[in-house]
Amino acid sequence: AQTPEQCENAPAFQFMREVFAQVGIPLAVEAVSRFSFTFRVDASPYARIFAGDEGKKTCAFVSEALARFLTTDLGLPAEVDEVECRNARASRCRVTVALDPRAVTRRVLDAVDRALLAGLARGLSPQGVSREFGMSSGERDFRIERLVGYGLVGGDGRILPAGELLAGEGIPSDEG
C-alpha cells in the first residue's frame, strides 16, 4: 500500500483494525511508507483511564499491543512509539511504527522476485535473467523496480549488499 486509503483497504489492516476495535482501540492509518506507518487513535477509553496523569503520554500499552500484534501475528518485528497523546493535550493519540526492513522484504517478495534476485547474484544482467526465466521485459522491469524500492538492487540492475544477503537465503520452500 502506498497511501493510507490503500492501507486501510488491505485485508491484513482490516483484520488488525477489527481486533483492536473490539478492545476499544479504534485505529486509523495516517501515513504509510515502505517500512513504516503512523496510526492515530481519535478516542480510546484507555487514554481516559490515566487521565489523572495529565500532561503525560499514557498509551504505552497501546504501542506495546501494536508491536506485539505486528511481530507475533503478522511476523513483522516492529518498533512502536507513541508520539502524541490526548492526555498530553494533543487532539488524538498518534503512534509511529518502524518495521524491520529485512522482515518486510522477506514477506513481500515472491518466488519470481527471489529467482530474479538469485540470477542477479550469480552475475547475470537483468536481461539475462529475464531470458533465463522466459520473463517479458515489462515484467522484468516491474520486478527490478520493486527490488530497487526495497534497496536490494541499484537503478542499473546491479545487486546491492542487502540483495546479496537475501539471495544467499535462497527461495523458501513454501513458495516454490
| Rounded mean pLDDT, 20-45 | 87
Per-residue model confidence (pLDDT) at position 50: 59
Min mean pLDDT across 28-32, 94-98, 170-174 is at 170-174
Q: How far apart are CA 58 and CA 102, in angstroms?
A: 31
Per-residue model confidence (pLDDT) at position 153: 94
| Rounded mean pLDDT, 93-104 | 90
- Per the model's pLDDT, the better-predicted residue between 78 and 85 turns out to be 78
Lookup: cell for 17? 483494525
Q: Which residues contact 105 (CB under 8 A, 6 or more apart)?
A: 150, 152, 162, 166
Lookup: cell for 115? 529467482
Q: Which residues contact 115 (CB under 8 A, 6 or more apart)?
A: 129, 133, 171
The answer to whether the pTM exceeds 0.85 is: no
Instruction: Quote the strand ranges of 19-115, DSSP E.
Output: 27-33, 36-41, 78-84, 93-99
Dihedral of the alpha carbons of 32, 14, 108, 160, in degrees to the nearest 10:
10
What's the pLDDT tens digit per position in 42-73?
Answer: 877 766 665 555 555 666 778 888 899 899 98
What's the pLDDT tens digit per position in 106-145?
Answer: 888 998 999 999 999 999 999 999 899 899 999 999 999 9
For residues 139 and 113, is the Cβ–Cβ distance under 8 A?
no
Grid coordinates 491484513 are at which residue? 12
Per-residue model confidence (pLDDT) at position 1: 62
